[in-house]
Amino acid sequence: MIKNNDKISANQVSILLFTTMVGAGILSLPADVSKEVGPNGLIAILGGGIASLFFARLILYLSSKFPTETFVEYTGKLITRPISIVISIILVFYFTIFASLDVRIFGEVLKIYLLPSTPIETIIITMLFTSAYLVRYGLEPIARMSEILFPIIVIPLVLLFLPTLTDIDLSNFLPFMRVSLVKFFKGMLVTTYSFVGFEILYLLFPYIINTNKLKRSVNSAIISTMLFYMYITFFVVGIFGYKETREQLWPFLTLIKSINFPVFFIENVEGIVMGIWTFTIFTSIYSFHYFATLALSKLLKTREHSYFVLPAVPIMYLMALIPDSIVTVYKYAGYVSQYMSVFFIAILPILLFIILKVKRLGDKDEEKT
Amino acid sequence: MRFFDKIFGKKNDKKEEKNGTLASNSLKVNLDYIKNKLKDCDDVIYRDIWVGENQQYNLAIVFIDGLVDKDLINDHVLHSLLLDSRQADPSIEKIKRNLYEVIKKGTITGGDIKEITDLDKCILSILSGDTALLFDGSPEIVIISSKGWQMRSISPPEAETVVRGPREGFTETIRVNTALVRRWIRDPKLKIKQMQIGERTHTDVAVLYIEDIVDRNVLNKVMERLKNIKIDGIFESGYIEQLIEEDWHSPFPQVLSTERPDKVAASLLEGRVAILTDNTPFALIIPTTLATLFQSPEDYYERWMISSLLRILRFLAAIVALISPAVYIAFTAYHPGLIPTKLTLYVAATRQGMPFPAFFEAFIMEATFELLREAGVRLPVPIGQTIGIVGGLIIGQAAVQAGIVSPLMVIVVAVTAVASFAIPSYSAAIAFRMLRFIFMILAAVFGLYGIMLGFMIVLTHLVVLKSFGVPYLSPFVEIDLSDLADTLIKAPIMYFKNRPEILDTPDRKKMKDLREEKIESIEDDRRDNNDKKQ
């Protein structure tokens, strides 16, 4: 068996964060923000991105105080062992839930656009096993996989929208900022689902080689994710207008369907986009899959995370099949992102930060290293 | 008891192997030992000779007929010993005291000699084509290098021809091959470490590297793995390749094999290690990554634009060779809506009345093609062409006319075949050929999603794979921009100032910055002009 030393560089962290965050959310994000803030979706995404950046840096700061430990270990020092265990278990489930949600949405989309007669169970189980095959080998191959897929995901998606540039009606973004502040915050809140993924920083820190460059790579990851979302939302809302956008389940795909290059061989780019989107979802699924098993292995103090990779597959499979329809899937996704995500992204880091400052812990560890 | 026997038996074996059998003072004893060991080997020639004034000193030479250069033995050994030595007149005293020294240093006119005292080593030398000269009254044996068998002359490499570039390829003799590399790199730092592998074949294997450029980790790994090989025989460098590669499950070659000395020399300058094996024209280059499989020496001889275009073409060819039948299956069987309507209608029309589903049709054609290729390789050249005509034209045409396969399918198969030949490395092309069938099966089960699944699985395999510690997909992973200049494209030569970043080479600089020099020269000109004006 090939040994991988399981350390990744700051650049790889940046790409891993991007590919983890960009996942199923991209399909529904324009509709979600249009529902809440109307024409000001772009600004809501900007706000959500900046908030995410702030909390990501906070999580990074917390982790850097305990450079050799993951979340599971250092929270034991901050908020007593039993509470830490409970939160860690929730964290494992949290990652598992996101992997399941992603794979379920993936299955639904694929069933509608590519494989109408294939049972969704088959799509889900093959995707999960493919993810398990990669995750078994650990962090280093995962980071490399993200590096390979990153340009394949980003470049075609950015280029594909350009021909529709002329269809954009800028008045679709007016009136500017005429929403109540509460609505605006709600709009920011719905973007959380799309930004979910940077929580992996809780666990990632001990596996990074050049930690001094890490701040920059977290910044660039979250800012580029935000810009990528804004780019897509700009096109979707700019062409359809917010009223039409919010009525749709996946406005992103609707827009794709409307693009065609008659000059080229492919009449509609749906097939290509489905291919790219398979990669997009794959990167998110294996990332959540890996960090769920990693957190679990830290929790149970086993040497290898790979013991849990295969057992996680049936669990994620069953969880993915719990919602009975795509509407319920999004209802659950809403619950999870608005309660659990907000807890892990915002409330928990603030709490931990306060406790850290009160207890004056961690500084000692930093001096040692 | 048997257990102890085993242990002690092994120990004894080892001792014998280490010390060998020392030669004795008596010529007869030594000769008997050799004759006994080489019993029933009728190609061994023993020649007893007497030298000295009164023909009182007994000598013997031993060699193998056919392996040695007979002229060399006649002119420089026998002639010298039997005739020339009589004309010279060293004092009898001197001869008496040390006949061995006199003959070794003063008589034999062969160029390369060495002395040994170990009879087993002596036999090994005889078997590799050297001539042994044994003395009566001395335990030392002189080995005269007299290798000279019938060998193929240097000819153009058959599998790797280029339009522009040297035409010489390696031959089957390791000494010629090392010389070919030496001629490219006249650097004392070019090291050629030779060893013998194979307990029975004793095949010469040479490890080549440039001392202050080579990646030490890779070199150590190569040396260690070569030393660990315990096998009775090495035939072809393919044996070594398979014995030292990291992952034998992989369809992808982790070691690059080449017949071209220029390719070996260039790889050495990049900090890689090369292995030459006796009896084969194929050298091994280590480590190998996916990107190197798409490089052809010609890329570096031609100007950058055409090379870059050819690189892109090759990568596209690899993708076409990998997935085009699978895409055909996916589109006709699952997603006719994703291709232009006119094409859909055309495909549907050609497939009208077709008895087989798309997958089966594609599978039959691909399998037939592989069959034709395999048969073509086996047959002698004139008949091989017949097979090409029968297979390509008659079967293809007949199958279409009989309505068994659609004409589009024949085109797909043909394009795939042509594309798979565009990949410079033969073993890489085989990998893509094998994976093609897996992609076809996946496409038959899941359509386009199956192809994506295939990509994800192959990519997973590739990101995990390493060749001697170097990630197989580098420099696409652990991205380094300067390395990317020699992958999908081949940047202008000015950009290759440093050796590949993926290898840990002590001497990084490859070239002085031409642009800086240009700027300097321009500035110099300007200064001169200014001076003149003043």
The rounded distance, in Å, linking the Cα atoms of B416 and B321 is 5
Tell me if chain A has a CB within 8 Å of the CB of B248.
Answer: no
Give the C-alpha separation, A293 to A287, whole Å.
Answer: 10
Asked if the model's pLDDT at residue B4 lies above 70, the reply is no
State the residue for tokens 């800086």.
B516
Confidence at B52, pLDDT banded by 50, 70, 90: low
For residue A245, the model assigns a pLDDT of 86
**Phi and psi at residue B477, to the nearest 5°:** -110, 160
| Number of structural domains in chain A | 1
First-to-last alpha carbon distance for chain B, in angstroms, is 102
Strand residues in B255-323 grouped as ranges (E): 256-258, 273-277, 283-286
Give the pLDDT score at A268: 67
Asked if the structure places residue A214 within a domain, the reply is: yes
Three-state secondary structure readout of B357-406? CHHHHHHHHHHHHHHHHHHHHHCCHHHHHHHHHHHHHHHHHHHHHCCCCC
Confidence of residue A367 (pLDDT cuts 50, 70, 90): very low
Q: Rounded mean pLDDT of B228-241? A: 90
Does any domain span residue A75? yes
The closest of A158, A153, A181 to A276, measured between CA atoms, is: A153
pLDDT band per the 50, 70, 90 thresholds, residue B94: low
- Residues A126-150: what's their mean pLDDT? 93
Q: In this model, does residue B101 exceed pLDDT 80? A: no
Nearest-CA distance A306 → chain B (Å): 15
Q: Which of A36-40, B167-171, B322-326 is predicted with the least confidence, judged by mean pLDDT?
A: A36-40
Contact state of B477 with A282 under an 8 Å Cβ cutoff: no
Whether A51 is in a domain gets the answer yes
User: Among A300-309, B95-104, B271-280, B446-455, whose mean pLDDT is lowest?
Assistant: B95-104
Q: For residue A368, is it within any domain?
A: no
* Listed ranges B19-33, B324-338, B449-463; the one with the highest mean pLDDT: B449-463
B459 contact residues in A (CB cutoff 8 A) = 145, 148-149
Percent of chain B exceeding pLDDT 70 equals 90
Residue with tokens 């202050």: B212
B316 touches chain A (CB under 8 A): no
Give contacts of A279 with chain B, Cβ < 8 Å.
452, 456
> Does residue A366 belong to any structural domain of this protein?
no
Helix (H/G/I), strand (E/B), else coil: B310: helix
- Nearest to B181, CA basis, from B251, B120, B298, B268: B268
- pLDDT > 80? residue B3: no
**Chain A interface disruption, residue of B290, B412, B478, most A CBs within 10 A:** B478
Peptide bond between residue B139 and the one before it cis (omega within 30 degrees of 0): no
The dihedral through the CA atoms of B320, B321, B325, B327 has a sign that is negative
Residues B378-431: tens digit of each pLDDT: 888 777 777 777 777 788 888 888 888 888 888 898 899 899 888 888 888 889
Neighbours of A75 (CB within 10 A): 24
Within-domain flag for A364: no
Residue B360 in contact with partner chain A when CB distance is under 8 A: no
The distance of A20 to chain B (nearest Cα, Å) reads: 16
- Indicate the residue of B339, B341, B449 with minimum beta-carbon distance to A123: B449
Q: Nearest-CA neighbor of A23 among A140, A113, A102, A121?
A: A102
Report if residue A147 sits inside a domain. Answer: yes
CA–CA separation, A190 and A258 (whole Å)? 26
B162: Cβ contacts below 8 Å, ≥ 6 apart? B296, B297, B298, B301
A276 by DSSP, 3-state: which? Answer: helix
Q: What b/e readout covers B21-60, taking b as 16+ CB neighbours within 10 angstroms?
A: bebeeebeebbebbeeebeeeeebbeeeeebeeeeebbbb
- Structural contact between residues B81 and B53, judged by C-beta atoms closer than 8 angstroms: no
Does the distance separating the beta carbons of A147 and B476 come in below 8 Å? Answer: yes
Rounded Cα–Cα distance for residues A86 and A319 (Å): 20
Indicate the pLDDT class of residue B140, thresholds 50, 70 and 90. confident
Q: Residue A23 has what pLDDT?
A: 86
pLDDT higher than threshold 90 for residue A165: no
Please list every residue in chain A whose beta carbon sits closer than 8 Å to the beta carbon of residue B476. 147-148
pLDDT grade, residue B17 (50/70/90)?
very low
pLDDT tens column, B340-391: 788 888 888 888 888 888 899 899 888 888 888 888 878 887 777 777 777 7
From A122, A141, A271, residue closest to B464, measured CB to CB? A141
Q: Are strands B190-197 and B203-210 parallel, antiparallel or unpaired?
A: antiparallel
Q: Choose the closest CB to A144 out of B247, B339, B473.
A: B473
Would the CB atoms of A148 and B456 count as touching at under 8 Å?
A: no
pLDDT of B334: 87
pLDDT at A4: 47
DSSP result, A104-149: HHHHHHHHHHT-TTS-HHHHHHHHHHHHHHHHTT-HHHHHHHHHHH
Cα–Cα dist B534/B531, whole Å? 5
Q: How far apart are CA B480 and CA B262, in angstroms?
A: 26
- The share of chain A scoring above pLDDT 90, in percent, equals 39
**Which residue of B343, B451, B456 is in closest CB contact with A282?**
B456
Calpha distance B192→B203 (Å, rounded)? 15
pLDDT range class, residue B227, cuts 50, 70, 90: very high
Looking at the complex, does the CB of residue A282 fall below 8 Å from at least one CB of chain B?
yes
Residue B316 corresponds to which tokens in the numbers above? 């596209």
pLDDT, tens digit, 9 for 90 and up, residues A235-253: 998 888 888 888 888 888 8
Q: Give every CB contact of residue A250 below 8 A, 6+ residues apart in sequence.
A: A27, A28, A31, A109
- Name the residue of chain A whose CA is nearest to B249's CA: A1
Report the residue of A122, A145, A155 to disrupt the B interface, i.e. the one with the largest count of B CBs within 10 Å. Answer: A145
Q: HSE on the CB side for B509, CA within 13 Å?
A: 4
Which residue is it, tokens 């191959």?
A141
Q: Within 13 A of B411's CA, how many CA atoms are on the CB side?
A: 6
Q: Looking at the predicted structure, is the pLDDT value of residue B50 above 70?
A: yes
Average pLDDT over residues B118-125: 88
CATH of the domain at A354: 1.20.1740.10
Are A278 and B456 within 8 A, CB to CB?
yes
- Nearest-CA distance from A356 to chain B in Å? 35
Is residue B278 within 8 A of residue B205, CB to CB? The reply is: yes
Question: Which of A11, A115, A270 lies at the smallest CB-CB distance from B449?
Answer: A115
Choose from A103, A130, A217, A289 for mutation: most chain B CBs within 10 A: A130
A323: pLDDT strictly greater than 60: yes
Query: Least CA distance to B468: which residue of chain A?
Result: A2
Up-side HSE of residue A43: CA atoms within 13 Å toward CB? 17
What separation, in Å, do the N-terminal and C-terminal C-alpha atoms of chain A show? 32
A365 assigned to some structural domain = no
* Interface check B447 vs A, CB under 8 A: yes
Asked if the Cβ–Cβ distance from B479 to A145 is below 8 Å, we say: no
What is the residue range of A202's domain? 8-359
Asked whether the predicted pLDDT for residue B68 surpasses 80, the reply is yes
- Is the Cα dihedral B464, B468, B472, B474 positive or negative? positive
Cα-based torsion angle of the residue sequence B521, B525, B526, B531 in order, rounded to the nearest 10 degrees: 140
Amino acid at B232: D
The distance of A134 to chain B (nearest Cα, Å) reads 6
Query: What is the pLDDT at residue B51?
Result: 74
How many C-alpha atoms does B229 have within 13 Å on its Cβ side? 26
Over residues B115-142, the mean pLDDT reads: 86
Between B270 and B479, the higher pLDDT residue? B270
Residue A363 pLDDT exceeds 60: no
Residue A262, pLDDT > 70, answer no
**What ipTM is given for this predicted complex?**
0.90
Taking residue B505's Cβ as centre, other Cβ atoms within 10 Å add up to 23
SS (H, E, C) A142-194: HHHHHHHHHHHHHHHHHHHHHHHHHHCCHHHHCCCCCCCHHHHHHHHHHHHHH
Sheet holding B256-258, edge to edge: B190-197, B203-210, B273-277, B283-286, B256-258
Model confidence at B123: pLDDT above 60: yes
A130·B456 Cβ contact <8 A: yes
Burial of A99: CB neighbours in 10 Å, binned 0-12, 13-18, 19+: buried
Instruction: Please name the residue that has the structure tokens 């070919």.
Output: B180
Number of CB pairs, chain A paired with chain B, less than 8 A apart: 87
What pLDDT sits at residue A267? 63
Q: In the predicted model, what is the mean pLDDT of chain A?
A: 87
A349-354 long-range Cβ contacts below 8 angstroms, 24+ apart: A349/A55, A349/A58, A349/A59, A349/A62, A350/A58, A351/A79, A352/A62, A352/A75, A352/A78, A352/A79, A353/A58, A353/A61, A353/A62
- On whether any CB of chain B is under 8 Å from the CB of A176, the answer is no
Task: Give A100→chain B minimum CA distance, Å.
Answer: 18
Residue B528 DSSP SS3: helix
Reported as a single tens digit per residue, the pLDDT across A178-235 is 778 888 888 888 888 888 888 899 998 888 888 888 899 999 999 999 999 999 999 9
Cis previous bond, B475, omega within 30: yes
The whole-angstrom distance between A22's CA and the closest CA on chain B is 17
Judged by a CB distance cut-off of 8 A, whether residue B339 touches chain A is yes
Asked if A271's CB is within 8 angstroms of B449's CB, the reply is: no
Q: Do B334 and A114 touch (CB under 8 A)?
A: yes
A306 contacts chain B (CB < 8 A): no
Nearest CA in chain A to B342: A267
Q: List residues bridging with A8 in a β-sheet.
A: A208
A354: number of Cβ within 10 Å = 11
Taking CA–CA distances from B466, the nearest residue in chain A reads A2
